[in-house]
Amino acid sequence: MYKTIAYYHVGTGNRGDMAIKKSITEAIQQRLKVPFAFFNTKYEELTEKRIVNQLNTDCSMLMIAGSGLYTNYPMSSGWYFPCKTELFEKIKVPIALVGIGCNNTIKNDMYQGDLKPDTQDSIKLINDLSFISTVRDVRTYNVLKKIGVKNHKLILDPGNFLEVPIVPKEKRVAINVCQHIPILGRFDGTMETRTKNIEYFSRISNYLIDKGYKVVFIAHDALEHSLIEELSTRVKELEYVNTDNIDIMLREYARCEFTIAMKMHSTILSFAAGTPFISLLYDHKSLEYNRLINWSAFGYSVFEDYYEWLEKTVDILIESGEFYSRQFRKIKKIEQIEFDKSIDTICEKIQSIS
């Protein structure tokens, strides 16, 4: 019997984080029947008492996984991990850092800018103490390299490697619009971009419906339901999926011919399902993700007047979507090799200390 993995993640309503959690835990449990205990990085402080009396005694590993955790954040470590840096060396179990990003380049975001010196020192120390460290994008890889980390590897976001059954494609298109940061139209930001997005997505949805397609909005945040309501007044035949069940979301992506998306994890789940996507970009990590899978031609800034480009790109995928779907499956198979190696390394470490 293996001891529990203590798994720290954002643990909120972020469906992208849910996808990462599902991918990592299922991949490990296919190899080893090891239990997980999940801890929310925002609320559950890893105190000295918890380290000494719980983590070091009852657990096989500390895993910190997913999302943009390497970010200036008002926590005891200075980044999105709730533990004082001076306590890191009291951790006696192996430390695994898996699929982490660095979200500090979003326009007008409160965490924008370089990592603070103390934050850099904390992130370097946790990496130095870890036996494995993977990052999800080139920018994060370079940030860690710049602060002196040497043991990290670049692997696609774990959500890309969710197992998705191949199902027949239907004449359907998935769409996603997001509003989770001020620049996109959150309650504390401007409505200009949000208004434009609703207009453009309404137009392209009706354009597709006129061509005989069904259009489905897949929400990656429960607060996107308000967008569904507004789009539905303009697109009478709009369908939608608003659920925390990642399997339902994946099945929907799998049956669509292609996706038009803003949220990065809408594009990632499309890729996992073998469904080509059009990416409306709002930050650097989405741009870099497209580069990693040779998909830059299908991305365009959401802050530009993108409708004309969008309609032309939709026509390309209507014509060649099946070809690109096959290409996605080939790329996933190749990239899967490195992800599997990382999971094997984690499982071997658990076995070696048991």
- The whole-number pLDDT of residue 88 equals 98
Q: Round to whole Å and give the CA distance between 266 and 250.
A: 10
Kindly tell me if the per-residue pLDDT of 5 is higher than 50: yes
Kindly tell me if the per-residue pLDDT of 106 is higher than 90: no
Kindly tell me if the per-residue pLDDT of 110 is higher than 50: no
Average pLDDT rounded to a whole number, residues 161-169: 94
Average pLDDT rounded to a whole number, residues 272-277: 98
> Running DSSP on this structure, what letter comes out for residue 294?
T
- Chain-centroid distance of CA 314 in Å reads 24
Confidence bin at 104 (pLDDT 50/70/90):
low
User: Own/partner pairs for 53-58, CB < 8 Å, 24+ apart?
Assistant: 55/6, 55/91, 55/93, 56/90, 56/91, 56/92, 56/93, 58/3, 58/4
Kindly tell me if the per-residue pLDDT of 297 is higher than 90: yes
- Residues belonging to the chain: 354
Q: Which residue has the tokens 């990642």?
A: 246
Kindly tell me if the per-residue pLDDT of 180 is higher than 50: yes
Threshold 0.75, pTM exceeds: yes
Distances (CA, A) of 40 to 10, 28, 87, 246: 5, 20, 18, 19
- The whole-number pLDDT of residue 112 equals 59
User: Of 9-13, 47-51, 134-138, where does mean pLDDT reach its minimum?
Assistant: 9-13
Average pLDDT rounded to a whole number, residues 245-265: 96
Average pLDDT rounded to a whole number, residues 22-47: 96
Exposure string over 267-282, b if 16+ CB within 10 A, otherwise e: bbbbbbbbbbbbbbbb
Of residues 324 and 67, more confidently modeled: 324
- The whole-number pLDDT of residue 13 equals 76
Of residues 284 and 122, more confidently modeled: 122
Contacts of 76 (CB under 8 A, 6+ apart): 45, 82, 83, 84, 85
Q: Go through the domains of the chain in sequence order and give each one's CATH number.
A: 4-154 (3.40.50), 172-333 (3.40.50.2000)
The chain-wide mean pLDDT, for the chain, equals: 94
